[in-house]
Chain A
């Protein structure tokens, strides 16, 4: 409360606080709407209007989305696709970032900027060739097709972030190791990576969310229903339960749970990750 009193030292402040409060509530409305909808039945909402005290409150929608909606296999699929991609992209980008950060060679700048530029590409420009490539490699409609793509596409961002961070590691530590006769790989593994852990954690949190939430590539590179991650699965949920919005919304909420949990518990890393490259 001491905080509060210190803060509200002028009427302006009070006004701003109220505006802030209203804005925040407005921002949370969709989430609240989602929660309310998911525990009611569609008939209830339609006949008594949305703004009404629910006649019955039920968890049935969640169960329907899970069992009949296929969420029970969509959700695990998302993990099966996201986690290996995350691991591989972090592995390769930390290797590449190390080379770009600590070695001076002519192509360094060019390679670095290629990674950065690739980050910004409109992915639609990759859509058709990647589709054909994935099929050509026999990876169409497989987990690995999608995993390889995500690994490759996220390399740009990860390499960029990790390389910037690795540059801030004092060179003396590495020099000392080299003098001691350590090979570069050992230096990377034993020294650089542990020191880069904060950045890796930040990037990992962001990447987990982005890969987990991917929709476009899931619908292009996968065909079978049993392989679909939750994003594509939710879209087909919309097709299956066309008139049952509470089921769709319940499914959406379930689908968002993992990223939500990651966000809630690893918020700090999230925000760090975003700001790592934006400011010095």
Chain B
């Protein structure tokens, strides 16, 4: 069984771009499950349901849960088990960068992102995490870049404890733009298929928060 584990960012960017139906089509073409953890549900359904501005979006996402497009992680592991693993992840991730002077730990991640990593580690299966924001990806794929970025922004020296995040190295991540790239290639977008459509899809999610550069978008377009 394969699993795509969704963080809140891609769900938000796809919803705000009116592309949730594409997610349904992708699920039909996927030999596995789309996973949503309770922490992510909190951010994309429970909280926005109480904010008038985002109530409609929350209902749309919740409908995908009700239709079974997203499966709750509790179908596979108890919430308690996931929370225990999430807390372990938070301890590791949030201890990785410290101030040199005062040794103060910098809390980089929160429960939502950490719960996706926790599920990926618990399931010991073929899985990919779908995450749009950069910090979690950098922490796993290029922790030294994150270290450098933060030192530059904060004008201070930081220590990177790489041993704490060594286990994150094997995690695999994609973003909402890669999901849309696949949907485009598989003809799952019910619109005239041309390069302008791909351009519009990729920039659409970029402007809704997906961390992707214009250069990356141009490169993706050249691969078609």
State yes or no: do A and B come from one complex: no
Question: Which residues of A line the B interface, CB within 8 A?
Answer: none
